Chains A and B, each alone.
Chain A
């Protein structure tokens, strides 16, 4: 006895001096007061660590490392040349009105003019009410590259999807980007949004995107997120949606790329009559880390939330799904369903799946189910007896597993694109380490 085991404290915050210096240099631009406030708050709280229940399986040390190296050189870092071909290819494959955030900055030349009688687009300033409520949102506000506010007017129905393209290129040195988007759909309006993440370049990169959405009474939002980052890019992303009376959201997210991905989807039901449906698919291979955290707060009933996430996990990848539903006191008539199904294709891959229900109301309907499994041997044999070889039979079953959730994607025009991206991804699993 006598000797005390030393508990190593991990470095959990950016160096305050370097951070202050960079924020001060950014504060020449608006909003300055907001940045300072967010920075102070961030310095106080620091990055979350794996000791935090919500970050138990997702270690941010790589992201901290990229950020530290970026801070050290930020003053004189030139903007990397963009990969315009990549951007134009994405724009050509999806019919949408695009707002392009290149390395976190709104790129006017590559963006469409969005403002019409129905939509207004403004930039975030000190007066904008944006969320600075947890460390990554704080850091995002302090280091915000560009921030915009999109507002859909009362009773306006926007048919053509609004595309938010987050594209980054880190060719020779580490880069971070912190874009922020605030969306509000006024009462009676409807819109469709596509959030697309892409990247290129050989240097490590970290992007931290925060999107806050508010739906007015009776507003309807269809939303699809596609994450197809390159393999040396890390990202944290948070989408928070606050839903007013009788409003509804249908959401689908797919994670194909990236080395480290953490998505937070927060659904806040603050009035009766809300319907929220959110689904997702994640495909991990090699050493990818993909973490999807969802949280739905039923504050008022009746309201319905339904979610289904599916994962295909191969190689040495690790995926996390954590779905939390909280039915608050008095939110009678709440109906919350969560499902999470995982296909483990390799004995070296890992899934940490956790459904959580906290119920403080009396009359509620809640259900959750989680499965982890391999391909069904009986189904494989059945397909083989119909003449499909084993490899093809595996592909058919894997594709089918994914398709059942892809079909829930609310923007129908995107399904073909998602299907072909899925197919390309499954090819990689076949060629690689899915054994």
Chain B
């Protein structure tokens, strides 16, 4: 589904990704871990199409199509979803409006009619209930005045409504208390399916106790230094990242 080959990315004068390769197939859940500054968020932003980064080498294809040919909104309509580490507050745009606009942009691209208003509300209320969100959040400004946990739940709500083919969740677990963590993990697990892929970018092993990954990768110095199964996450939790760095530079 997603094939990243020798990806090189810089911003300003700084090389961030230096030859990163990763292959993600439908049905798989990948966790990408790594120390601060290793390039995890950059990878997520580049896949989503942020123009602050300059791609200097390599390629990314999504279902065989060159991602760099697509604008961020086209990538979204193709089914790529990015859950933001820091969801943006947009006062004056109500949450329901954005959800509906996002769903309809995707549906239009798929040749489907706009979602019926009644169906939309029913679906949104259902998903919100499973995420432990008050339906009142639908009528508030997007992320406006939301707590950290509410913003992350809202990202998961958007993901649940949009049913993407590839979901990239950038540190969705950071700053969550245990209840929020469980709700968010429940939302992610509900979306696991044979035709969908999920990439979890995380600092800690904690989320992976609730969402069990098929693969765990460690990012260091702008490339994947180590890959393994979920036991790799446990090793990182116990031993930290130092050994990865040493192995990478050896």
Residues of A within 8 A of B (CB): 376, 378-379, 381-390, 392-393, 396-397, 399-404
Contacts and interface: CB of A to CB of B under 8 A. Distances in A.
Nearest to B97: A396
Contacts of A381: 48, 50-51, 72
Nearest to A407: B92
Contact of B158 (A386, A392, A396, A400): A386
B215 interface: no
Contacts of A383: 90, 98
A396 B73 contact: no
B101 A387 contact: yes
A230 to B, nearest CB: 29
Contacts of A384: 49, 71-73, 76
A397 B93 contact: yes
B228 interface: no
Report, as a range, how many residues of chain B touch the other chain.
Answer: 20 to 34
Contacts of B247: none
B209 to A, nearest CB: 28
Contacts of A388: 73, 101-102, 105
Nearest to B84: A382
Contacts of A401: 92
B71 to A, nearest CB: 7
Is chain A's binding surface mostly helix, strand, loop or mixed?
helix
Contact of B88 (A382, A403, A404): A382
B105 A385 contact: no
18 contacts: A376-B88, A379-B88, A383-B90, A384-B49, A385-B49, A386-B76, A387-B73, A387-B105, A387-B106, A388-B101, A388-B102, A389-B71, A390-B71, A390-B73, A392-B101, A396-B101, A399-B92, A402-B92
Interface in B65-113: 71-73, 75-77, 81-82, 84, 87-88, 90-93, 98, 101-102, 105-106, 109
B73 A400 contact: no
- 10 tightest A-B CB contacts, nearest first: A400-B92, A387-B105, A386-B102, A384-B72, A387-B76, A382-B88, A404-B92, A400-B93, A384-B73, A403-B92
A390 B48 CA distance: 14
A384 B105 CA distance: 10
A396 B97 CA distance: 10
B2 to A, nearest CB: 16
Contacts of B92: 399-404
A422 to B, nearest CB: 12
A166 to B, nearest CB: 30
Most buried by B among A382, A384, A387: A387
B139 to A, nearest CB: 13
Nearest to B94: A400
Contacts of A404: 91-92
A404 B50 CA distance: 28
Nearest to A402: B92
Given A385-B48, A385-B84, A389-B71, 12 more contacts: A379-B88, A381-B50, A381-B51, A381-B72, A384-B76, A385-B49, A385-B72, A387-B109, A388-B102, A392-B101, A396-B93, A404-B91
Contacts of B77: 387
A390 B72 CA distance: 9
B125 to A, nearest CB: 20
A400 B71 CA distance: 23
Interface in B40-54: 48-51
Nearest to A376: B88
Nearest to B80: A385
Given A385-B76, A390-B71, A400 B91 contact: yes
> Residue among A388, A392, A403 with the most chain B CB within 10 A?
A388
Nearest to A381: B50
A401 to B, nearest CB: 6
Given A387-B77, A390-B71, A382 B90 contact: yes
B105 to A, nearest CB: 3
A387 B48 CA distance: 11
Contacts of A403: 92
A355 to B, nearest CB: 21
Contact of A386 (B49, B51, B71, B105): B105
A404 B93 CA distance: 9
A397 to B, nearest CB: 7
